[in-house]
Amino acid sequence: MAGKRGRHPKKAGGRATPKGTQPGGHVSTQVRAIFANAAEVVRDDPADAEVFASSFQQVFRVEGLQSRALAAPEEVVREALRVGGLVGLFVARSIVVFGPHGARARAELVFEKLSAKTPPPRWLADMGNVTVGEVAVLRDQYGDGFGVYLEYDDPTSGVRSVGVYIDANMGGIVKDIIDGPPLSMVRELAAAEPQIEMVTIDAAEARARVEAAFDLLDQAYDLELSDDIDDLRALAEQRFSLLPSGGSVPDEGHEMSDEEREELIEAFVGSPHFFGLPHEAREIGETICEFADDIDGNPLRWSPVVVEIFLMQWMPGEVIADAEFFRSVPLVLRSWVRFAGERRGLDAGLIDETVRSIDQWLDEYEELVREPAAQGAAELLAAAVASGGVDLDDADAVRSFIDSYNADLDDVDLDLDLAEEGLLENWREFELQLVGVMKSSLAALRDIEQPAELVAWSASTIRSGIRSGDSPFVEAAALCDLAADEIAAIDDLELVSSVASAWFEPIVDWDSYPQIEISIDDLALASTIEHTDILRLIVALATEGPGAAASAAALTRLLDVQPDDRDVVGEALANFVTVWRAIGVLDSASRLTALGQWLLPRAFASRWGGDFDA
Listed in sequence order, the DSSP H helices in 345-451 are 348-360, 362-370, 372-375, 377-387, 395-407, 409-414, 421-441
Concatenated DSSP letters of 57-100: GGGGS--TT-SS-SS-HHHHHHHHHHH-HHHHHHHHHHHHHHS-
Which residues, in sequence order, are CB contacts of 547 under 8 Å at separation 6+?
591, 592
User: DSSP 3-state assignment of 546?
Assistant: coil
pTM of the complete model:
0.60
Concatenated DSSP letters of 181-241: --HHHHHHHHHT-TTEEEEE--HHHHHHHHHHHHHHHHT--S----HHHHHHHHHHHHHHH
Q: Are 392 and 386 in contact (CB under 8 A)?
A: yes
Question: What is the predicted pLDDT for the residue at 486?
Answer: 76
Which residues, in sequence order, are CB contacts of 18 under 8 Å at separation 6+?
39, 85
- Return the sign of the alpha-carbon dihedral for residues 117, 120, 125, 127: negative
Helical pair 492-500 and 452-468, crossing angle rounded to 10 deg: 70
Q: How far apart are CA 410 and CA 44, in angstroms?
A: 62
Q: How far apart are CA 18 and CA 40, in angstroms?
A: 11
Adjacent-strand bridge partners of 176? 165
Question: What is the predicted pLDDT for the residue at 396?
Answer: 65
Helical pair 594-607 and 492-500, crossing angle rounded to 10 deg: 80
User: DSSP 3-state assignment of 184?
Assistant: helix
Residues of the chain with pLDDT under 70: 1-26, 64-67, 221-222, 253-254, 371-428, 484, 505-528, 560-562, 564
Q: How far apart are CA 54 and CA 37, in angstroms?
A: 13
Adjacent-strand bridge partners of 132? 152
Q: How far apart are CA 582 and CA 585, in angstroms?
A: 8
Adjacent-strand bridge partners of 147? 138, 165
Identify the DSSP state of 606.
Answer: H
Burial class of residue 271 (count of CB atoms within 10 Å of its CB; 0-12, 13-18, 19+): middle
Which residues, in sequence order, are CB contacts of 84 under 8 Å at separation 6+?
20, 21, 114, 117, 118
Residue 462 CB neighbours (<10 A): 27
Buried b / exposed e across 218-248, counting CB within 10 Å, b at 16+? eeeeeeebeebbbbbbbbbbbbbeebeeebe
In this structure, the chain runs to a length of 614
Domain ranges of the chain: 29-125, 131-241, 258-375, 377-441, 445-607
